[in-house]
Amino acid sequence: QVTLVESGGGPVQAGGTLKLSCKASGITYNSHCVAWFRQTPGQEREAVAAIRSGSGGTYYADAVAGRFIVLQDSDTTFALRMNNLAPEDTAVYYCAANSGGPCGQSWAHTWRYTTWGQGTQVTVSS
């Protein structure tokens, strides 16, 4: 069974950088798609980025491409490095993992993921 725990959120000023971490247990090397989503009150959860564990294939939403980097720091830790943050990046950020297999073209859909972390708040002030 896969479990995920996010950390690294907090307040940051616009233009700043923040790195979120997602500690995974029960994950098998090179067998899962791990994604980051974010959500603001009253809005649907929005895909941010994803990475195939082991192989390193990455996917990005247009809103963050060129500013955010998704990476795998170790066999069980994934990260989202967020550069040049803007107030519209303020949200609760979640990491998620599928039950196995590649990310694929449907990586941005919440239904692809069976395990979610508890979320970590990121607040960007102008």
Sequence letter at residue 38: R
**Phi, psi angle pair for 112, to nearest 5°:** -75, -15
Mean pLDDT on 80-108: 95
Q: Is the pLDDT of residue 14 over 90?
A: yes
Sheet holding 18-25, edge to edge: 3-7, 18-25, 77-82, 68-72
Q: Is the pLDDT of residue 28 over 80?
A: no
The model's pLDDT over 99-110, given as tens digits with 9 standing for 90+, comes to 888 999 999 999
Distance separating alpha carbons of residues 1 and 69, to the nearest angstrom: 27
